[in-house]
Each structure stands twice: as structure tokens, then as C-alpha cells.
């Protein structure tokens, strides 16, 4: 698996995107980390809410594990 930290694309200071391509599915999965309020970073997978975190660092570090749990 590649280094997740290098794949996040900063859209704005409040929004980060990543696309993960899979060999077992057509197309890719979209991950978004979005700051929705003071210390409220939300992680979305294919537009579905997954979890909230207190910082971008927490959200980005939890993303690989949560992606593996929720990608199917």
C-alpha cells in the first residue's frame, strides 16, 4: 500500500480529497476530510459520513483503517 500522507490533495484549508483506485472494482473510491466546525473534522467515503475527529492529523491517520473497514 502506498503512503497515504502523500496522496491527500488540499482543496482549501478546510477540505482535503483523495481517490483510491482498487483492482477489484471499477473506478475509484473518493475520500474527503472536511472541517465542518471548530475542531470538527469529518471523514467521508464516497459521500457517506464515516467519523469525526478533533484534528486533520487524527482524521488522516485513521483514514487507512476506516477505509479498509468501509470500502465495501
What residues does each domain of the chain span?
4-70
Asked if the model's pLDDT at residue 72 lies above 50, the reply is yes
Reported pTM: 0.85
Task: Kindly list the distances between the CA atom of residue 32 and the CA atoms of 6, 35, 56, in Å, as whole numbers in the listed order.
Answer: 15, 10, 11
pLDDT in tens, 3-60: 676 789 999 999 999 998 877 767 788 999 999 988 899 999 999 999 999 999 999 9
| Residue 2: predicted pLDDT | 53
* Dihedral sign for Cα atoms in the order 44, 65, 69, 30: positive
Amino acid at each position: 500500500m502506498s503512503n497515504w500522507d502523500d496522496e491527500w490533495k488540499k482543496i482549501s484549508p478546510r477540505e482535503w480529497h483523495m481517490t483510491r483506485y482498487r483492482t477489484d472494482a471499477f473506478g475509484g473510491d473518493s475520500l474527503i476530510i472536511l472541517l465542518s466546525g471548530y475542531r470538527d473534522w469529518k471523514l467521508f467515503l464516497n459521500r457517506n459520513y464515516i467519523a469525526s475527529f478533533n484534528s486533520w492529523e487524527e482524521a488522516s491517520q485513521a483514514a487507512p483503517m476506516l477505509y479498509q473497514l468501509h470500502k465495501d
